[in-house]
Amino acid sequence: MWFKNLRLYRFTQPVDFDHESLNDALAQQPFRPCGSLDPMRYGWVPPLGRHGQEWVHSANGYHMICAKRQEKILPAAVINEHLEEKVADIKAQESRHVARKEKQDLKDEVIFSLLPKAFSKSSLDFAYIAPREGLIVVNAASAKKAEELLSALREALGSLSLIPVAPNTIPTQAMTHWLLHGDLPDDFTLGEECELRGGKDGRVVRFKNQDLSADEVLNHLNAGMYVNRLALTWKDAIHCIVDDQLAIKRVKFEDRILEQADEGNPETAAETFDADFVVMTTELSAFIGAMMQAFGGEDTSWQG
């Protein structure tokens, strides 16, 4: 349940979230497994999985939600193999060329015939709503995956006005300045990984397990490259990678943070989930605030 990625979205209109109404809304669009001819299904499931029945888990003013995605796995090589056989049969039996449009139609037929036999792959997408902060935090590595969850939430609620959180300072400019001059914001320290981009040839240089203050890194920056991704640590408690879109990836909590959730000696899966959720959201609330301050505060120009 501990989030590994953070994508931040701001409510642009006041929304009054409460556990009961949100729970009722998600219950109307539950996840249903793929049928024999469904390539993909997406819907809501209880965040506690088999240990809970509520569609929303609420604690400390935050609401955790979870969506499930299931898709049929049809490798391209398998599809192409069956397609080539069909095309070869037509050429042999009818002595004619198969045009591109007909070939696409044949491909659709192949996919349709293979779907009932395909294996299914499932994944869970978590997010939590922070009404006090006016945010939704999505545990997604890609913007596309986050938008899929938000689209499903928008459909369940009827409307949902959101924009990605943006800082006042362009992330690449701020991170390049930090690395070049070594003056990071309070409570932040450099990790050992970064990605540099730029130069006349548009090259990309990546460093891992590297002292980022070394001349080898700084020489690239002095030559005109900029920081596109940077490893940071906040208060020796949360480690992460921040990219040019302010997406926060590969989040890792120090053991002392994880251990806080065990201090109440939770006995059931539900109690454990609840304790983890409270500790995680408390830490992330402070971390997200510090991160936004580090990048010059949040851009609120959308307010007009």
Following DSSP, what letter does each residue of 223-276 receive, concatenated?
TTEEEEEEEEEETTTEEEEEETT--EEEEEE-HHHHHHTTTT---SHHHHHHHH
Q: Is residue 2 in a domain?
A: no
Structure-token match 């449009």, residue found: 101
What's residue 56's pLDDT? 96
- Are 111 and 73 in contact by the 8 Å Cβ rule? The answer is no
Q: Which of 108-117, 147-156, 177-186 has the lowest mean pLDDT?
A: 108-117
What is the per-residue pLDDT across 191-225, written as a single tens digit (0 to 9) for each?
Answer: 999 999 986 677 899 999 999 999 999 999 998 89
What's residue 117's pLDDT? 78
Same domain, 20 and 153: yes
What's residue 16's pLDDT? 79
Same domain, 36 and 138: yes
- Position 51 pLDDT exceeds 70: yes
Q: Is residue 111 in a domain?
A: yes
Beta-bridge mates of residue 240: 232
Give me the mean pLDDT over the 74-95 stretch: 82
Same domain, 126 and 211: no
Decide which of 16 and 137 is more confident.
137
Q: Which of 4-18, 56-70, 106-120, 281-295 has the lowest mean pLDDT?
A: 106-120
Specify which of 14-23, 43-52, 117-126, 280-289 reaches the highest per-range mean pLDDT.
280-289
Same domain, 125 and 227: no
Quick one: CA torsion of 104, 110, 114, 119, rounded to 10 degrees? Answer: -30
Q: Is residue 181 in a domain?
A: yes
The model's pTM is 0.87
Q: Where is the domain boundary, 164, 190, 220?
A: 164
Q: Is residue 159 in a domain?
A: yes
Same domain, 159 and 16: yes
- Position 246 pLDDT exceeds 90: yes
Q: Is residue 1 in a domain?
A: no
- Look up residue 111 and give its two tokens: 């996919």
Q: Is residue 17 in a domain?
A: yes
Give me the mean pLDDT over the 278-294 stretch: 96
- Position 80 pLDDT exceeds 90: no
Same domain, 152 and 190: no
- Tell me the residue ranges of DSSP E strands in 131-187: 135-138, 162-164
Same domain, 135 and 243: no
What's residue 92's pLDDT? 81
The whole-angstrom separation of Cα 136 and Cα 240 is 19
The whole-angstrom separation of Cα 113 and Cα 209 is 49
Structural domain count of the chain? 3
Residue 43's domain comprises 7-71+119-164
Give me the mean pLDDT over the 213-238 stretch: 94
Decide which of 109 and 287 is more confident.
287
What's residue 174's pLDDT? 96
Q: Is residue 259 in a domain?
A: yes
Percentage of the chain exceeding pLDDT 90: 66
Q: Please provide the average confidence, as pLDDT, over all residues in the chain.
A: 91
Q: Is residue 81 in a domain?
A: yes
- Look up residue 89 and give its two tokens: 């049969």
Same domain, 223 and 260: yes
- Position 112 pLDDT exceeds 70: yes
Same domain, 59 and 177: no
Percentage of the chain exceeding pLDDT 70: 99
Same domain, 215 and 294: yes
Same domain, 94 and 181: no
What's residue 81's pLDDT? 84
- Are 166 and 296 in contact by the 8 Å Cβ rule? The answer is no
Same domain, 13 and 149: yes
- Are 118 and 94 in contact by the 8 Å Cβ rule? The answer is no
